[in-house]
Structure 1
């Protein structure tokens, strides 16, 4: 997600500054959480991923709708679990 929002060929030029800030904030917080919880349970990681997706997926869907394209996969983002 972080790479996509900074890549001009992907999402960087399609996001509003507010949308980009929300994604940057949630991914930064998730990465910090990952650093602090390296020995967590799978369920903890899954829950954190859902939190990130809950912020990112609606934004990505809106971007694709504005640009007239269909989102990749069902959710538009989240096909790639990397933050």
Structure 2
């Protein structure tokens, strides 16, 4: 459980696609228990900060000791929750990234409209699944990501191979990490 110590907002940020804004948050606590928190948007330089002093709303040493003991007691549950959230965030990020990659106008013509539709539809289906399954378990998120990768990787590999070289000829094998080229006796080796 979290305890609210204070609030501040970083406003006036320009609209940007998901995952693009970069906010640097700094926490600093001094010997007197005074907490300084600042946030800076790296693209605009806009900044806001708050100082939280060791007075009202803060905890006694006994309360802090109890919280530390509770944190130790529930560490395994917290770790499971953290892993679940990481799996959910990974799936969500991958779905939005794949969708925007195939919709990128600068890559038009590198894949067919059918391939583009296949990826966009699967990404939209996954995003919809995420919205309707906010309390899913880690393995469910991981399964959904594997299913999405199964559809996206062949198309995105083709997309990047077409964008990267174009002069290597056809490549064999499933290049599951994007624009890597594997050696095969059936193809021409190429160095990018």
Of 89, 100, 110, 1:3 maps to 100
RMSD: 2.2
TM-score (norm 2): 0.34
Q: Which structure exhibits the higher relative contact order, with contacts defined as CA atoms closer than 8 Å and separated by 6 or more residues?
A: 1
Give the direction of change, closer, same or farther, for the CA distance of 1:18–1:75 in structure 2 (3 Å limit).
same
Please say if residues 111 and 158 of structure 2, whose CA atoms lie closer than 8 Å, have aligned partners that are also in contact.
no
**Counterpart in the other structure of 1:16:** 112
Gaps of 5+ in 2: 1-97, 167-175, 180-192
Please report the TM-score for the alignment, with normalisation by the length of structure 1.
0.73
Alignment gaps of 5+ in structure 1: 78-83
Give the number of the structure whose residues are more often strand, by fraction: 2
User: How far is the alpha carbon of 1:23 from its aligned partner?
Assistant: 0.3
**2:143 matches 1:59:** no
Structure of larger gyration radius:
2
Which residue number corresponds to residue 94 of structure 2?
A: none
Aligned residue pairs, count: 73
